[in-house]
C-alpha cells in the first residue's frame, strides 16, 4: 500500500522527508560557509551566470598583477641606473672648479689632481659596472657581462694587447716626429727669409692654419699647397713691437698661435718666448726671427702638442666604431730588428691603421655593441599595448667621455726636473678638465637620464591606471563572488527554524501508533 502525504517515508507528488531534510541541511551548510568565508560559492559552477564575470575579472587582476611586478622590477633597475648617471654627472661637474695650473706633484710622478682623477676613474667604472640582481644594466643586451674593464686593465698592456698608455706613447712619437718639431720643417735662412712647411700629409703633428703680419718690412706669405707651406722674413728692419702670427691646428682640433715680436737691437734684456732681436742687417734679423720661431715651435710641440696627442689617442682608443678596432699609428705592429727601428717607423708614419687592432688593443668596453638605439636593448611590457625601453651601453657618448677624459688625464706622468712639464700638464689639464665639465659631456649624460626618467614616468602612469582598473575589477568580482552576510544570516535563522520544526514533526511521527492515535 502506497502512502501519500508530505510526511511519509515515501510518497507520490512529494519529496521524501529524508531528502527534504538533507537538502535543508545542505543549504544550511552552504549558508554557514558563505558566512564564514564571505564567498557565494567555493566553485565557479556555483556562481551560475556570474561565473563568466568572475573568470574575466580574475584574469584581468592576474594580468595587472603581472604588469605591476614587471614595473616594480624595471623601476628598481631604472632607479639604480639614474643614481649611477647622477654620480657620473657630479664627477664631471666637480672638475669645473679644478685649477689646471696647480702643478703639485706626488711621489707617483702625477699631480694631486691626477691622483684624484685616478680615484674618480675607478668610481666611474664602478658606476657603469652596476648590476641589479645579477643583471649589468649598462651592458646592452649582454646583461650577464660586466661592461667595463678595471682602470688598471684599461691603462696597462695585456700581453700582446696594448693598453691606453702604449697607444698614447705611439701617437706621441708620430705627432712629434723625429726632430721633436711636430712634423714641421723649418728651412735655413735664404737671403732674409725662411720657409716653414708641414712635413707630410696625414693626421699627425701640427697643421699650419693661418699666417698674419703687422710687421713693418715683414715677409709673410701663405699658407699654400698641400702639405701647407709659409714664408717668413723681412725686406728691411722691423719696428720694435711689430708682430707676426702663425696659427697651428693640433691633432685634437685645438689651435695654438706662435707670436713673433720684434725687439730693439739695443735692448739687452732677456728675450721672452717668441721675441727676436732686430739684427744689424735684414739677414741677421731673419736669422734671429727663425731661431725664435724654431724655439717656440719646439716648446709648443713638447707641451701643447703632446697634450693634444694624448687627448686624440684617447679619442681613438675609446671611441672606436661598432665592430671595428681603435685607430693605431700605422706601423705599430711591424716586424722590427730593434726598438730604435720601431720608434723611427712610428715617428715617420703618415696614416692611422685599423687592421687587426681589435685583436691587438685592449678593449675598454666589453659589453654588447651595436649601431641601434641603446635604449632598445632592454624593454618591458607594463600594460596592454604599452612597453618601455630602458637599455643602456657604457660606451654611449656621455658615459664614454667621462671615462675617457679621466683615463687620459690620469695616464700621463711628469718630472719636476723637466722644464716643460708644468706647461705640458696645464695643456693636458685644460683639455681634459674642460671636456669633463663641458656642456656637451654633461648634456649627453643627462640625455640618458632623461630617457630613463621618461620610461619611469610611463611606469608610474601605468601603475596609476592599474590601481583604478584593479578597483573596478575587484568591485565587479565582489558583486558576483561575495556573499551578503546579513542575507546569509537571515536565511540561516529561517532554515534553523524550519529544520527544528521538521525534526519535531519527524520525532512525533516516529512515535505514532494506533494506540497513541486512538
Q: CA 481 to CA 38: how far, in whole Å? A: 8
Cα gap 350→336, rounded to integer Å:
18
CB 326 within 8 A of CB 291: no
SS (HEC) of 147-179: CECCHHHHHCCECCEECHHHHHHHHHHHHHCCC
pLDDT value, residue 430: 96
Which pLDDT belongs to residue 2? 47
Q: Residue 45 has what pLDDT?
A: 47
Our CA angle for 173, 179, 181, nearest 5°, is 85
Give pLDDT, residue 146: 97
The closest alpha carbon to 92, from 412, 411, 405, belongs to: 405
d(C-alpha 108, C-alpha 111), whole Å = 8
Alpha carbon distance 404, 148 (integer Å): 12
pLDDT at 322: 86
CA distance 371 to 73: 27
Tens-digit pLDDT profile for residues 386-438: 999 999 999 999 999 999 999 999 999 999 999 999 999 999 999 999 999 88
Output the pLDDT for position 4: 47
| 115 alpha carbon, distance to own chain's centre | 23
Q: Does residue 303 sit in helix, strand or coil?
A: helix
Q: Are 448 and 399 in contact (CB under 8 A)?
A: yes
Angstrom CA distances, 5 to 13, 423, 434, stand at 8, 121, 106
Distance CA 457, CA 448 (A): 14
Kindly state the cell numbers that stand for 201: 700629409
With helix as H, strand as E and coil as C, how does 309-344 read?
Answer: HHHHHHHHHHCCCCCCCCCEECCCCCCCCCHHHHHH
pLDDT for position 323: 84
Q: What is the mean pLDDT of the chain?
A: 87
Contact 117, 410 (CB under 8 A): yes
pLDDT in tens, 368-383: 999 999 999 999 999 9
| pTM summary value | 0.83
> Based on C-alpha coordinates, what's the Rg of the chain?
43
Nearest residue to 75 (alpha-carbon basis) of 428, 483, 452: 452
List the chain pLDDT tens, one digit each, 518 residues: 444 455 444 454 455 656 665 666 555 555 565 555 555 554 554 455 555 666 667 677 888 888 899 999 999 999 999 999 999 999 998 998 899 999 999 988 999 999 999 999 999 999 999 999 999 999 999 999 999 999 999 999 999 999 999 999 999 999 999 999 999 999 999 999 999 999 987 999 999 999 999 999 999 999 999 999 999 999 999 999 999 999 999 999 999 999 999 999 999 999 999 999 999 999 999 999 999 999 999 999 999 999 999 999 999 999 999 888 999 999 999 889 999 999 999 999 999 999 999 999 999 999 999 999 999 999 999 998 899 999 999 999 999 999 999 999 999 999 999 999 999 999 999 999 999 988 777 888 999 999 999 999 999 999 888 888 777 776 665 555 555 455 556 666 666 676 666 666 666 666 666 555 55
Amino acid at each position: 500500500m502506497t502512502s501519500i502525504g508530505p510526511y511519509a517515508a515515501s510518497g507520490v507528488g512529494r519529496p521524501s522527508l529524508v531528502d527534504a531534510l538533507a537538502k535543508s541541511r545542505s543549504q544550511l551548510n552552504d549558508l554557514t560557509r558563505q558566512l564564514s568565508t564571505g564567498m557565494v560559492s567555493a566553485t565557479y559552477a556555483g556562481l551560475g551566470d556570474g561565473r563568466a564575470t568572475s573568470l574575466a575579472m580574475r584574469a584581468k587582476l592576474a594580468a595587472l598583477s603581472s604588469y605591476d611586478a614587471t614595473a616594480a622590477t624595471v623601476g628598481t633597475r631604472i632607479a639604480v641606473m639614474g643614481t649611477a648617471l647622477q654620480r657620473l654627472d657630479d664627477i664631471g661637474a666637480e672638475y669645473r672648479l679644478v685649477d689646471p695650473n696647480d702643478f703639485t706633484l706626488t711621489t707617483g710622478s702625477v699631480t694631486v689632481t691626477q691622483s684624484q682623477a685616478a680615484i674618480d676613474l675607478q668610481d666611474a667604472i664602478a658606476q657603469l659596472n652596476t648590476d641589479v640582481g645579477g643583471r649589468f644594466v649598462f651592458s646592452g643586451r649582454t646583461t650577464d657581462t660586466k661592461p667595463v674593464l678595471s682602470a688598471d686593465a684599461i691603462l696597462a698592456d695585456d700581453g700582446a694587447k696594448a693598453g691606453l698608455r702604449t697607444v698614447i706613447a705611439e701617437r706621441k712619437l708620430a705627432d712629434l716626429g723625429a726632430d721633436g718639431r711636430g712634423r714641421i720643417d723649418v728651412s735655413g735662412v735664404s737671403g732674409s727669409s725662411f720657409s716653414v712647411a708641414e712635413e707630410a700629409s696625414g693626421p699627425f703633428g701640427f697643421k699650419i692654419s693661418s699666417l698674419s703680419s703687422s710687421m713693418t718690412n715683414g715677409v709673410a706669405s701663405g699658407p699654400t699647397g698641400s702639405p701647407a707651406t709659409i714664408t717668413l722674413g723681412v725686406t728691411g728692419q722691423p719696428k720694435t713691437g711689430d708682430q707676426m702670427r702663425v696659427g697651428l691646428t693640433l691633432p685634437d682640433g685645438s689651435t695654438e698661435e706662435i707670436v713673433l715680436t720684434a725687439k730693439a737691437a739695443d735692448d739687452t734684456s732677456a728675450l721672452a718666448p717668441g721675441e727676436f732681436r732686430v739684427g744689424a742687417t735684414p739677414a741677421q734679423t731673419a736669422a734671429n726671427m727663425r731661431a725664435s720661431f724654431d724655439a717656440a715651435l719646439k716648446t709648443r710641440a713638447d707641451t701643447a702638442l703632446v697634450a693634444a696627442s694624448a687627448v686624440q689617442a684617447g679619442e681613438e682608443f675609446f671611441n672606436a666604431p661598432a665592430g671595428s678596432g681603435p685607430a693605431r699609428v700605422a706601423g705599430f705592429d711591424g716586424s722590427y730588428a730593434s726598438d730604435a727601428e720601431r720608434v723611427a717607423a712610428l715617428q715617420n708614419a703618415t696614416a692611422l691603421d685599423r687592421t687587426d687592432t681589435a685583436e691587438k688593443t685592449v678593449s675598454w668596453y666589453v659589453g654588447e655593441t651595436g649601431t641601434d638605439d641603446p635604449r632598445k636593448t632592454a624593454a618591458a611590457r607594463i600594460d596592454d599595448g604599452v612597453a618601455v625601453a630602458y637599455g643602456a651601453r657604457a660606451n654611449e657618448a656621455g658615459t664614454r667621455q667621462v671615462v675617457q677624459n679621466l683615463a687620459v688625464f690620469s695616464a700621463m706622468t711628469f718630472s719636476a726636473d723637466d722644464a716643460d712639464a708644468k706647461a705640458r700638464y696645464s695643456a693636458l689639464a685644460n683639455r681634459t678638465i674642460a671636456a669633463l665639465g663641458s656642456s656637451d659631456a654633461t648634456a649627453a649624460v643627462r640625455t640618458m637620464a632623461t630617457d630613463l626618467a621618461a620610461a619611469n614616468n610611463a611606469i608610474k602612469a601605468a601603475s596609476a591606471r592599474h590601481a583604478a582598473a584593479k578597483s573596478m575589477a575587484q568591485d565587479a568580482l565582489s558583486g558576483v563572488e561575495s556573499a551578503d552576510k546579513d542575507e546569509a544570516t537571515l536565511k540561516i535563522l529561517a532554515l534553523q527554524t524550519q529544520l527544528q520544526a521538521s525534526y519535531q514533526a519527524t520525532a512525533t511521527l516516529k512515535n505514532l501508533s494506533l494506540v497513541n492515535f486512538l
